[in-house]
Structure formats: C-alpha cells, structure tokens
Amino acid sequence: MTEKADPAPRAGRKPITSRAEVEHVAFELFASRGFDRTTIDDIAKAAGIGRRTFFRYFPSKNDIAWGDFDGQLDKMRKRLASYPPDRPLPGVLREALVDFNRVDPSEAVWHRQRMELILTTPALQAHSTLRYADWRQVIAEFVAGRLGVAASALAPQTVAYTALGIALAAYEQWLRDPRADLAELMAAGVDQLTEALT
C-alpha cells in the first residue's frame, strides 16, 4: 500500500513553509475553538499541509505550545557554560533565568498567549511536567559541575526546582499585569529569594 501524498494547499492561502507559521495557525485555532477542541487535522487543514508534514514539525499537538523549547534549552546550556568558573553562582543563575525568559517587545503579545495556554490548559499539564524536567536538568547539571557533585544530588536539584519556581511565579505575575516587564519580574524573584535567605 502506498502512502497518500500531502494535499495541495488550499487556494488563496500561501503554503506554510516554517514551523513558526504552523505554530501561528495553530494558536489562531486554539484562540477561536479552544485547545481541546482543535485537532491535528484541523491545524493541518488550516495550514494547507498534510498530517505527515505536520508531524515533521511537531511530534504532537502538545508540542506546539512549547515552540522551539529544545533549541532554547541548548542555548541556555551553552550560555551557562560560557560563564567563567569564578563568577559567583547566584549572579550566573540570575542572568541565565532572565536571558532564557527574555521576550522581544514585538513578541510579547504572542508569548503571553503561549504562556497563558501552557499555564491554564489542563490537557497540557502532564506535558509541561516533562518540559519542566528538561529545563531543571540543564540547571542541575550546571550547578552540579560548579559544586563537583552529581546532578541528582540534593543541592543541584534544590537550586533547579527553586529556579523553576521563580520563573513560574514571575510568569503568573506577568500574565496578571499587562504592564509588567517579565525580565524585571524574573530578576526580582531571584533577588527577593536571595534576600530572604540571607
């Protein structure tokens, strides 16, 4: 049996040529129909692509919400590795947290939609747990290297969980207040924790 070729794009719509474009089409559908009521077939049809093409971009519908998260994790890992070893750990983690979550002002509305979806959609919570684990692992490995212990040791894991908690708290504040600056909230979260512990 031969596989069916992807259907031709709908008339009047420019063919989708990038992962980002598929994301934008999907988010339009999520906004109008809801995440749960939007299927992969709906997204593929609206994007003018076939299911096979969709799966070349995303392993699942849940992955759309996270965008290029793996690529961002790789950037964070490289950024952490670039710090000189004598740079104090709290300052490094503060900068890394702010850098990873920095949003270009032109993308702020789009990023708010993404984070609102991730943080408020029950169907995404299990998937989010996996993504958060990947994020924490990058932090834990870096801290472990600095401390000379295993990434699974208590100190690196505590720092990683704490950093994630700061990020999530900052995002919740940011989503509640359209005037808030996400980078400032991230930095303030680290500063307030440091102050509380000293």
The pLDDT tens digits along the chain (198 residues) read 444 444 444 445 555 568 889 999 999 999 999 999 999 999 999 999 999 999 999 999 999 999 889 999 999 999 999 999 999 999 999 999 999 999 888 888 889 999 999 999 998 988 899 999 999 999 999 999 999 999 999 999 999 999 999 999 999 999 999 899 999 999 999 999 888 877
Intervals of CATH 1.10.357.10 along the chain: 69-197
Q: How far apart are CA 189 and CA 9, in angstroms?
A: 46
- pLDDT at position 16 is 57
- As its CATH architecture, domain 69-197 has Orthogonal Bundle (1.10)
Intervals of CATH 1.10.10.60 along the chain: 19-64
Return the H-helix or E-strand segment holding 192. Answer: helix 182-197
DSSP letters of 91-129? HHHHHHHHHHT---GGGHHHHHHHHHHHHH-HHHHHHHH
What is the fold of 19-64?
Arc Repressor Mutant, subunit A (1.10.10)
Two tokens, residue 191: 């500063």
Q: How far apart are CA 156 and CA 158, in angstroms?
A: 5
Q: What is the pTM of this model?
A: 0.85
